[in-house]
Amino acid sequence: MSVGRVVSYGVPAVIGLALLIGLPQLLDLFVLLQVTLYVVMAILALSLAFVWGYGGILCLGQSAFFGLGAYAYAITAFNIGESSLPVVIAILLPTLFAAALGYLMFYGRISEVYVGVITLTVTLILFNAVNSTASPEYRIGSALIGGYNGLPNVPSLNFPFDPDNTLQPDDVYMVAMATLLIVYFGIRWILRTRFGRVLVAIRENERRVEFIGFDARLHKLAAFALGAGIAGAAGCLFVNWGSYVSPTIFSMIQSAQIIIWVMVGGVGTLIGPILGAVALSWLTAEVGTQHVINADILFGGILIVFVLLVPRGLVPMLTEHVWSRVMQPRRKVAVAAKLAAPGGRA
Positions touching another protein (CB under 8 A) are 58, 60, 101, 104-105, 107-114, 116-118, 120-122, 124-125, 127-129, 132-133, 251-253, 256, 259, 263, 294-304, 307-308, 311
Q: Are 46 and 183 in contact (CB under 8 A)?
A: yes
Work out how close the CB of 117 gets to another protein at its nearest, in angstroms, rounded to a whole number: 5
Work out how close the CB of 154 gets to another protein at its nearest, in angstroms, rounded to a whole number: 23
Of the pair 181, 267, the CB lying nearest another protein is at: 267
Of the pair 121, 324, the CB lying nearest another protein is at: 121
Work out how close the CB of 57 gets to another protein at its nearest, in angstroms, rounded to a whole number: 11
Work out how close the CB of 126 gets to another protein at its nearest, in angstroms, rounded to a whole number: 9
The length of the chain is: 346
Q: Which residues contact 206 (CB under 8 A, 6 or more apart)?
A: 56, 216
Of the pair 52, 241, the CB lying nearest another protein is at: 52
Q: Are 46 and 184 in contact (CB under 8 A)?
A: yes
Nearest CA to 215 out of 339, 138, 300, 223 is that of 223
Of the pair 135, 168, the CB lying nearest another protein is at: 135
Chain-centroid distance, C-alpha 46: 3
Of the pair 39, 122, the CB lying nearest another protein is at: 122
For residue 315, the tally of other CB atoms under 10 A from its CB is 21
Q: State the Cα–Cα distance between residues 165 and 26, nearest whole angstrom.
A: 25
Work out how close the CB of 79 gets to another protein at its nearest, in angstroms, rounded to a whole number: 22
Of the pair 37, 115, the CB lying nearest another protein is at: 115
Q: Are 84 and 23 in contact (CB under 8 A)?
A: no
Work out how close the CB of 115 gets to another protein at its nearest, in angstroms, rounded to a whole number: 10
Of the pair 110, 339, the CB lying nearest another protein is at: 110
Work out how close the CB of 346 gets to another protein at its nearest, in angstroms, rounded to a whole number: 44
Q: State the Cα–Cα distance between residues 82 and 94, nearest whole angstrom.
A: 20
Of the pair 18, 307, the CB lying nearest another protein is at: 307
Of the pair 45, 118, the CB lying nearest another protein is at: 118
Of the pair 154, 264, the CB lying nearest another protein is at: 264
Work out how close the CB of 123 gets to another protein at its nearest, in angstroms, rounded to a whole number: 9
Single-letter amino acid code for the residue at 16: G
Work out how close the CB of 160 gets to another protein at its nearest, in angstroms, rounded to a whole number: 35
Work out how close the CB of 120 gets to another protein at its nearest, in angstroms, rounded to a whole number: 7
